């Protein structure tokens, strides 16, 4: 799934190929892909727009256009941005060789930037530059940015009772980490995914800070992690999968100590870790287990009974 490294890698590729081009036309096959404004306005605004720059914020890709506008793209689960060469004949709309094409941007050199997305979760928005910060409001620290320091991470964790895994996935805390790199970061730092945030020691915070950066930078270096769908703009898969230590390796030996890796579900997400290298939290640092549905039912029955007395 596209997380920060997958988005950053594609952003760098697009910076090489797209800046300086002009969008000559746009078509949308799946209207819900366009989050803002309505599809008709979206398609009407784009022809003639020059691509001025490509940026990334968290898992968002930003394409800055002339006319004080910008495209904001989120690939969500299965979205990809592919660059296709000019169509052989004069049919740029029919010749897109991808069954999951949701939107096509025709460029002045005949190339086509195609947004493909089997699951249809991905979103593209067009905003005036002045509304960009509002559209991106609420995002947390940029993990590769200057503001992400060990001290800032420590401040973020202090006084919080949350489990580390859900916290790392929370985009309002740190923005850009997803399921793969959350597991990889915690393994590299030697921290159990169920540890409560406020129980991390300063050395552990420092380790986690370094681990997050290392894991993300390696991911970018390797063109991202492809599990199923991530592709770069040329349709190439990422090469980071071979460098993962724990994600999707349940039952296989830990690369550090040989212990079979474990998979549990945390916050509705598959979570992979080494029970030896990421020692389980001491009893008083564990988040109290949530009651099962049956236990809750019993509790509510008891409550009603005592209320009736």
* 166 CB-near residues (< 8 Å, 6+ apart): 266, 267
Q: What is the dihedral of CA 41, 43, 44, 49, to 10 degrees?
A: 120
179 binds DNA (CB under 7 A): yes
Q: Which of 15, 76, 160, 269 is catalytic?
A: 269
241 binds DNA (CB under 7 A): no
Instruction: Write each residue from 94 to 123 as x if it is in contact with DNA (CB under 7 A), else as -, in one continuous string.
Output: ------------------------xxxx--
Q: Please state at what angle helix 202-221 crosses helix 179-189, rounded to 10 degrees.
A: 130
The whole-angstrom separation of Cα 247 and Cα 180 is: 6
163 binds DNA (CB under 7 A): yes
Kindly tell me which of 178 and 219 has the beta carbon lying closer to DNA.
178
Let me know: does 95 contact 114? Beta carbons within 8 Å.
Answer: no
Kindly tell me which of 91 and 268 has the beta carbon lying closer to DNA.
268
| Residue that has been written with the tokens 């940015």 in this structure | 145
Instruction: Write each residue from 252 to 281 as x if it is in contact with DNA (CB under 7 A), else as -, in one continuous string.
Output: -------------x-xxxx-----------
Q: How far is the CB of 297 from DNA (least distance, A)?
A: 11
Kindly tell me which of 3 and 232 has the beta carbon lying closer to DNA.
3
Q: From the list 5, 143, 154, 178, which residue makes contact with DNA (rule: CB under 7 A)?
A: 178
Residue count, binding to DNA (CB under 7 A): 33
Name the nearest CA neighbour of 10 among 47, 56, 46. Answer: 56
3 binds DNA (CB under 7 A): yes
- The answer to whether residue 59 is catalytic is yes
- The answer to whether residue 188 is catalytic is no
Q: How far is the CB of 66 from DNA (least distance, A)?
A: 27
205 binds DNA (CB under 7 A): no
Q: Which of 56, 59, 75, 249 is catalytic?
A: 59
- The answer to whether residue 309 is catalytic is no
Three-class SS of the chain:
CCCHHHHHHHHHHHHHHCCCCEEEEEEECCHHHEEECCHHHHHHHCCCEEEEEEEEECCEEEEEECCCEEEEEECCCCCEEEEECCCCCCCCCCCCCCCCEEEEEEECCCCEEEEECCCCCCEEEEEEHHHHHHHCCCCCECCCCCCCCHHHHHHHHCCCCCEHHHHHHCCCCECCCCHHHHHHHHHHHCCCCCEEHHHCCHHHHHHHHHHHHHHHHHHHHCCCCCCCCCECCCCCECCHHHHCCCCCCCCCECCCCCCECEEEEECCEEEEECCCCCCCCCHHHECCCCCCHHHHHHHHHHHHHHHHC
Give the interface segment with DNA, choosing from 17-25, 147-155, 166-174, 208-216 (CB under 7 A). Answer: 166-174
Q: How far is the CB of 67 from DNA (least distance, A)?
A: 25
Kindly tell me which of 123 and 188 has the beta carbon lying closer to DNA.
123
Q: How far is the CB of 12 from DNA (least distance, A)?
A: 19
307 binds DNA (CB under 7 A): no
Q: From the list 134, 282, 283, 290, which residue makes contact with DNA (rule: CB under 7 A)?
A: 290
Please report, as residue ranges, which positions from 46 to 65 form the binding site for DNA (by CB under 7 A): 58-59
Q: How far is the CB of 259 from DNA (least distance, A)?
A: 21
Residues that bind DNA (CB under 7 A): 1-3, 32, 58-59, 74, 76-77, 118-121, 159-163, 166, 169, 171, 178-180, 228, 265, 267-270, 287, 290, 293
Residues forming the active site: 2-3, 59, 269
């Amino acid at each position: 799934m596209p997380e920060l490294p997958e988005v950053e890698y594609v952003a760098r590729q697009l910076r090489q190929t797209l800046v300086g081009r002009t969008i000559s036309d746009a078509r949308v096959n799946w209207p819900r892909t366009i989050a803002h404004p309505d599809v008709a306005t979206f398609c009407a605004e784009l022809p003639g727009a020059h691509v001025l720059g490509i940026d990334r914020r968290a898992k968002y890709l930003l394409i800055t256009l002339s006319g004080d506008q910008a495209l904001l793209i989120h690939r969500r689960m299965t979205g990809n941005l592919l660059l296709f060469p000019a169509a052989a004949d004069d049919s740029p709309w029919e010749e897109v060789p991808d069954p999951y094409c949701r939107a096509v941007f025709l460029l002045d050199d005949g190339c086509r930037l195609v947004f493909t997305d089997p699951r249809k979760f991905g979103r593209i928005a067009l905003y005036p530059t002045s509304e960009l910060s509002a559209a991106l409001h609420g995002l947390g620290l940029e993990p590769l940015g200057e503001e992400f320091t060990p001290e800032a991470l420590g401040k973020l964790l202090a006084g919080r009772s949350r489990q580390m895994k859900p916290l790392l996935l929370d985009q309002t805390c740190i923005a850009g980490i997803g399921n793969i790199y959350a597991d990889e970061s915690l393994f590299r730092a030697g921290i159990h995914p169920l540890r409560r945030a406020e129980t991390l020691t300063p050395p552990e915070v420092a380790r986690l800070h370094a681990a997050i950066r290392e894991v993300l930078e390696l991911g970018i270096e390797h063109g991202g992690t492809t599990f199923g769908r991530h592709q770069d703009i040329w349709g190439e898969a990422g090469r980071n999968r071979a460098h993962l230590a724990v994600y999707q390796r349940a039952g296989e030996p830990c690369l550090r100590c040989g212990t079979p890796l474990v998979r549990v579900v945390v916050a509705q997400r598959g979570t992979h870790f080494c029970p030896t290298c990421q020692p389980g939290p001491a009893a008083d640092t564990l988040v109290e287990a949530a009651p099962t549905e049956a236990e809750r039912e019993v509790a509510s029955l008891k409550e009603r009974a005592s209320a009736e007395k």
